[in-house]
Amino acid sequence: MYPHERSLVKRLENSPFALIGVNSDQDREKLKKTLEDEKITWRSFWNGPKGTGGPISAAWHVQSWPTIYVLDGDGVIRYRNVRGEAMDRAVDELLKELEAKKK
Amino acid sequence: MQRLIVWSLAGLILVPAAWAGGDKKNGNDKVFKIEGTLAKDDPADKLRKNPHKVHEYKMKAGANYVIDMITKNAQELDPYLRLEDSAGKNLAEDDDGGGFPNARIIFKAPKDDTYRIIATAFKGVGDYTLTVRVASEAQSILEQLKESLGTKQKELFKQFPAAKTEEARQKITDRFYELTADSLLPLSEFAQKYADDPAAKEAKNMVRNNLRQLEQSDSPGVGKVLRTLREKGPKEMHGQVSLALSQNLRSQYERSYQRKDKDAGKLLKEIEDLLKHVGENHADLASQVKDVQFTLKNLTVGRPAMEIEAEDLDTKTFKLSDYRGKVVVIDFWGHW
């Protein structure tokens, strides 16, 4: 996952795009090394000390990890659980849509 | 006196029947039962590597057999069964198929042979009861249903590595779910017809589990089968089938929303009506209906994402809505 996400974030660093994580590790301190090692620069909500039993994943009925949602500029869910190339296509399409709206 | 005659008549009829099976010990319509013990110094099974005992049993080609190994003390012995043909080829094995921790193998003998039942352990040693019986008519029919579904799905699995495109793989997955869906009506009819046989319970469980699997499929073919099942299937399944159908239609709705189909709205209305109907008629499914309704409202393509407000990994609080105006990928992740 990380390499693909890294390249997506890098490719779109000047576009109106954000990758937002919801992290379900129990220990935030331990995670700092992972962030460094894996060059995870994007921001994450923390799901709290209960890990996968935390409040955000519960509110979103998340049952398997990773779970992906893609939102458009209006905050509307447009895709669920797209991975790899399909995720890139979805994001590119929504960016195009956003661009067209501005004109 | 009269009673005596009846008894002896019954005896006359019963005795030849027991002999008809050939081997007296293995009389095919009797239960073959052995009280056995696995001890620490019994030789290790070649595959399982735990102590084992071998029980030989003659089976007839085409017949279904139910082999049970039941522990006398679950704290000491967790049974494990294997089955070999007379040449020692491994044919089947099971750990907890008889209900944890007991082992059960249901086996259709491909040929007349003296089969080797290997009674061994997943863990521990101790006393067990081993029984072999010819499956009831119902059990045999259920085995056939299972086998025909299993064979078709195995064939599909074989095609998977050759499928190069995402579309081709999706097609196989859809077909897999459709086969599962196709099995539901025969299984539920079976469960009705043989309601008194223990096999009916197994069939009902299969229907329930298969329905749960189907919730993940957005194949229109699956939707079609579920609709038929809803109309023609047993009443007691109506609610579960409707729930599975609503999940399937939800995924179909998402696809049609993404394609910007005109009819997407119609589909959404159908799902809402369906859920309302289940909620009103099946009190036992109320909480599941609520879940799907929540999902439809908050976690479905086309719906505004729920707000998230929480700390980031540096303890700074932020909101999802801070990113309005941008395309956002939300990734529920963890490093484990």
Chain A residues within an 8 Å CB radius of B301? 77-80
In DSSP terms, which residues pair with B33 in a beta bridge? B131
In the numeric block, the tokens 């407000």 are attached to B309
pLDDT digits (tens, 9 = 90+) for B285-295: 999 999 999 99
Same domain? For A5 and A53 the reply is yes
CATH code for the part of the protein at B22-135: 2.60.120.380
Interface of A with B in 7-66 (CB under 8 A): 8, 15-25, 28, 31-32, 34-35, 38, 43-48, 51-52, 55-57, 59-62, 65-66
Say what percent of chain B tops pLDDT 90. Answer: 59
Cite the DSSP H helix spans in B73-165: 137-159
Same domain? For A41 and A73 the reply is no
Domain boundaries, chain B: 22-135, 138-298
Cβ contact B327–A5 (<8 Å):
no
Cβ(B320)–Cβ(B310) under 8 Å?
Answer: no
How many structural domains is chain A composed of? 2
The token pair that represents B50 in the structure block: 């735990």
Neighbours of B149 (CB within 10 A): 18
Same domain? For A53 and A73 the reply is no
Same domain? For A17 and A61 the reply is yes
**What is the pLDDT at residue B29?**
54
Cβ contact A61–B335 (<8 Å):
no
3 state SS of B103: strand
Name the residue facing B327 among A62, A80, A94 (closest C-beta): A94
Same domain? For A40 and A75 the reply is no
Alpha-carbon gap: A17 to the closest alpha carbon of chain B (Å): 5
Alpha-carbon gap: A36 to the closest alpha carbon of chain B (Å): 13
Alpha-carbon gap: A20 to the closest alpha carbon of chain B (Å): 5
Name the residue facing B295 among A44, A61, A74 (closest C-beta): A61
The count of C-alpha atoms lying within 13 angstroms of the C-alpha of B79, restricted to the half-sphere facing its C-beta, is 34
**Which residue numbers in chain A have pLDDT < 70?**
none
Same domain? For A81 and A57 the reply is no
List the one residue out of B71, B144, B108, B110 whose CA is nearest residue B81. Answer: B71
Taking CA–CA distances from A97, the nearest residue in chain B reads B327
Specify which of B42-56, B130-144, B220-234 reaches the highest per-range mean pLDDT: B42-56
Specify which of A4-8, A14-18, B62-66, B159-163 reaches the highest per-range mean pLDDT: A14-18
Alpha-carbon gap: A11 to the closest alpha carbon of chain B (Å): 14
Domain that holds residue A101: 68-103
Distance in angstroms (rounded) separating the CA atoms of residues B31 and B99: 19
Cβ contact A74–B304 (<8 Å):
yes
- Which DSSP symbol is given to B128? E
**What is the pLDDT at residue B163?**
87
Alpha-carbon gap: B85 to the closest alpha carbon of chain A (Å): 42
Q: How many CB pairs under 8 A join A and B?
A: 153
Chain A residues within an 8 Å CB radius of B311? 45-46
List the one residue out of B86, B69, B51, B39 whose CA is nearest residue B129. Answer: B69
Distance in angstroms (rounded) separating the CA atoms of residues B84 and B54: 10
Same domain? For A53 and A99 the reply is no
Chain A residues within an 8 Å CB radius of B258? 78-79
Same domain? For A37 and A80 the reply is no
pLDDT digits (tens, 9 = 90+) for B109-150: 999 999 999 999 999 999 999 999 998 889 889 988 998 898
Reported for A68-72, long-range contacts at CB under 8 A and 24+ positions apart, including other chains, are A68/B329, A68/B330, A68/B331, A68/B332, A69/B305, A69/B329, A69/B330, A70/A94, A70/B327, A70/B328, A70/B329, A70/B330, A71/B305, A71/B327, A71/B328, A71/B329, A71/B330, A72/A97, A72/A98, A72/B327
Cβ contact A68–B331 (<8 Å):
yes
**Mean model confidence pLDDT for chain B:** 87
ipTM score: 0.96
Same domain? For A23 and A2 the reply is yes
Same domain? For A30 and A17 the reply is yes
Residue from A69, A76, A96 whose CB has the most chain B CBs within 10 Å, to mutate = A69
List the one residue out of B308, B286, B285 whose CA is nearest residue B298. Answer: B308
